[in-house]
Amino acid sequence: MTVWALGLNHHTAPLDLRGRFAFALDQIAPALHGLRQSHARHPEAAILSTCNRTEVYCASDKPQIDHTLDWLAQAGHVPADALREHTYVLQDGQAARHAFRVASGLDSMVLGEPQILGQMKSAVRAAEDAGALGRTLNQLFQRSFAVAKQVRSSTEIGAHSISMAAAAVRLAGNLFEDLSQIKVLFVGAGEMIELAATHFAARDPATIAIANRTLERGEKLATQFGGEVMRLADLPARLHEFDAVVSCTASTLPIIGLGAVERALKKRRHRPIFMVDLAVPRDIEPEVRQLNDVYLYTVDDLAQVVQTGHANRQAAVEQAEVIIDAGVQSFLHWLDQRDPVTGVVPLIQQLHSQADEWRALELLRARRRLARGEDVEAVLEALSRGLTQKMLHGAMAELHTADPEHRQRTTQAIERLFLRGARTSPGSRP
């Protein structure tokens, strides 16, 4: 089996291009079905899609990288040649190293951020539920989770990170003198919004409001932070009430448009609005950034805020890379053991199969003899003799070869395999 990963992330592709390849969780199963059907060999497959990356992991007896790229390009309605400029392709050891680094938070915008591990686990569950996760990819991801756990427990990789939510609060503090005097609106009710609301709530803002498509989830989050809840449909009419807006939904189209923000500014008499768009694809139309009195930040903008403490981070990264190196070598060894040509596992499986065939044949003969009423001891003796002869037949035939050199090698092999721990004959070599 060979493993390959094809992806684009915040290092290789701009935000708007990444948005074209964002898969919501309920889209993963049909996407995986389409991906596997587009490949002649129906490979194992998993899709990891976050605000910072979309990655396709596959495993098959032969790599089908061009087919994977063509499928992804079609899914995002982008020409394959244009997509190729923004993607990376990794195979076997490099693919494993990348997966381990992603799981450990080494490839994130926020070094060491913990959310990516949960996102990878969700991607694996989705692939498993879709019937697309085979033994090889499952082994890759389970090892990536183990490596990530070791990295987090053995290094300080997470101690030097500033989350996106914390970075948003820091930027808001640069704009507003006193965050306890501002009104904050959170659009969405997912994990990222909950994290952002937690950070803002610690600064005790004057008002917290949650706008969500479904009120039930919004009410739960609003209750947690002592805020109010509103329907998403009411957002344009009430946008002017808020000094800060943080949005992160799974919408495929912007939900806060240029016109709505312009009307809000007019009602606010051009008092500034701080806006953070954590969604991919975007929740807030990019043209909003051009308005006076609007301070709009995307996930890519926040990345610049979190890059602090370089020396401490570098030491932690070096420690983490040592752990990842060991994990990669272990995975490659596991993969090599299963190679149909050079690996020992297929040979072991064949050996077990042959032994089972011999055993079944001798048992069948023994049962027939017992059914005819033959003596039990005689039947058992014949069964054991038959098994012994079958197991030794190949070795005895090899010993009778006319080639002296081949016979000597066979003798040494038989001594290691059959006479280990036993007293060797005078003519044999220990």
User: Which residue numbers are catalytic?
Assistant: 51
Element (H, E) at 56: strand 53-60
- Asked if the bond preceding 281 is cis, omega within 30° of 0, the reply is yes
Rounded CA separation 338/113 (Å): 34
The type of residue at 41 is R
How are beta strands 2-9 and 53-60 bridged, if at all?
A: antiparallel
Structure tokens at 346: 């297929």
Closest by CA to 6, choosing from 91, 126, 104, is 91
| CA 315 distance to own-chain centroid | 25
Closest by CA to 102, choosing from 320, 343, 389, 308, is 320
Residue with token string 């807006």:
245
CA angle 116, 120, 125 (to 5 degrees): 150
| DSSP assigned state of 74 | H
What are the C-alpha distances in Å from 24 to residues 43, 72, 110, 250, 286?
A: 22, 15, 22, 7, 21
| DSSP assigned state of 298 | E
Rounded CA separation 414/396 (Å): 10
| CA 311 distance to own-chain centroid | 28
Rounded CA separation 261/245 (Å): 11
What are the C-alpha distances in Å from 267 to residues 2, 176, 291, 335, 418?
A: 60, 19, 15, 63, 91
CA angle 209, 249, 216 (to 5 degrees): 55
Q: How many residues does the chain have?
A: 430
The type of residue at 119 is Q
The type of residue at 358 is W
108's CB contacts (< 8 A; 6+ apart) are: 52, 102, 116
* Helix ranges (DSSP H) in 241-343: 258-267, 299-306, 310-337
Rounded CA separation 63/66 (Å): 9
